[in-house]
Chain A
């Protein structure tokens, strides 16, 4: 039977057991996705419309949570200003992170010999494998008023950083950039290393200076990677809580004022009230904002793609 099948070049149908592989291998991920992802997410949306009465969660449909949040947009809790702070901090963080990582990737791709690139990349990504909260802790002791950077600077006779950076949104950004860097390096490396070198050589042979070759070849071809990195970094920065809470000190100073990030506000709101329906409603607003950033990012990436296609 098998010989005959081989002889005419056909593929034998495999013997099927009582549990068909097709059914099992489709059922496992589908059941998992439905039960562990779609159901909790749907329940999360529903829960935002429930209420808390006498410390008990009451099912039903009420817009009370959302009405209450809307009433506090610019008063008391100042959700609106926290959202502005989050936008400001996450967008500038994304810019700083890409401004740090893109030259790093260019340096890896164009100044490191091919056989060493893998090793250098490995070290650039190494922080990713270490614990984020411990890196945040390290930045705390580095950036504190009497921390390592300040005491090191003081021993050299510089005392221009009397205050230290801890508990400002500058510290938040440093923590976030350090957190984001490994992932951005990978995204940008994939993008930059796939640029065809013959294009650059052709530009050079046709008389382009190195700056022109960069501006007319490398930069346009890295724009998709940069756009993806920017929107990824903004989304992660907007949803992150650790840097804002432990480095920004909960309500770190910035141009916007000493206001917490929206994500930190959601966390402290839950910690102080344990009002889950209301927390769900706040998180729902975060979901909508992130969805908008994602759509804007995808659109921008599409435009960048079309510009070179």
Chain B
């Protein structure tokens, strides 16, 4: 490649101004993005009954109140049953779906790949109504099992997408080598493919968990008298907002930060992969 000399002055004032403006905008954007989160965390530790400035001093009273609030705790417990189960089911289905569309050619493969992604495009409002119809016929309405089944449909699509991304990075020779060495199909799957896709499966599980844990409308329609956490929070917000919500918010944010940390370690390599070629092939 011939060397190109880029004519640039010793001090490029325009460039400096643009970079400064860009970074200032970035800072403003981050204020907007972080404002609600910081607000909730700060006011969960403030004495104020109604969040307004100035604060009235630090206190843990909302946390104490939260742990005496049976309705919110029961809803949290429901969510901690629904989301892991739904995420696990979604990861298993998503893995088989990703593996089938990755390795095998079969009639209807293209249609299947599309159908697996479509639920993401359908607003949860519609999924909730659609599933309520069937669940009420099956008398599963108002049961956690109904919520779980519906959430699986919502979260399988993102889990599948993440696992597909990971499997696409697997060289076919890896599995073939296992067969050549005498492994059966299932042995190769369990000992080679699953370990290779582990990061994708874990990332898909986290994404599925987050979607399910945060999902509101479907649960509102389906969950009946066994609300999940977002539904319980909603009924508080429609009624009278109580600062113990700030406390549960902070706890949920701590949980989210852990999920976020896990996701950063597992998912980001896929998104920023284009910039670091060659890393992906290392199992």
Binding site for B on A (CB under 8 A): 2, 5-6, 11-17, 19-22, 24-26, 28-30, 32-33, 36-41, 43-44, 47, 100, 103-104, 106-108, 110-112, 114, 117-118, 120-124, 126-127, 129-142, 146-148, 150-152, 155, 178, 181-182, 186, 189-190, 193-194, 201, 204-205, 210, 235-236, 238-242, 245-246, 263, 266-267, 270, 276, 279-280, 283, 286-287, 290, 294
Contact = CB atoms under 8 A, between A and B. Distances in A.
Nearest to A264: B125
- What 8 pairs across the A-B complex have the smallest Cβ distances? A239-B123, A138-B36, A29-B97, A44-B130, A111-B22, A107-B22, A14-B179, A28-B96
Given A26-B106, A111-B22, A133 B230 contact: yes
A11 B160 CA distance: 28
Query: Per DSSP, are chain B's interface residues mostly helix, strand or loop, or mixed?
Result: helix
Interface residues of B, number: 102
A15 B99 CA distance: 18
Contacts of B22: 103, 106-107, 110-111
B264 A122 contact: yes
Nearest to B243: A141
A239 B176 contact: no
Contacts of B40: 134, 137-138
A137 B264 contact: no
B274 A130 contact: no
B112 interface: yes
Contacts of B186: 17, 19, 21
Contacts, number: 283
A205 B8 CA distance: 10
Contacts of B125: 239-241, 263, 266-267, 283, 286
B144 interface: no
A166 to B, nearest CB: 11
A150 B245 CA distance: 21
Contact of A238 (B123, B132, B136): B123
B133 interface: yes
B223 to A, nearest CB: 14
B268 interface: yes
Nearest to B160: A29
B26 interface: yes
Contacts of B74: none
Given A122-B268, A148-B53, A104 B123 contact: no
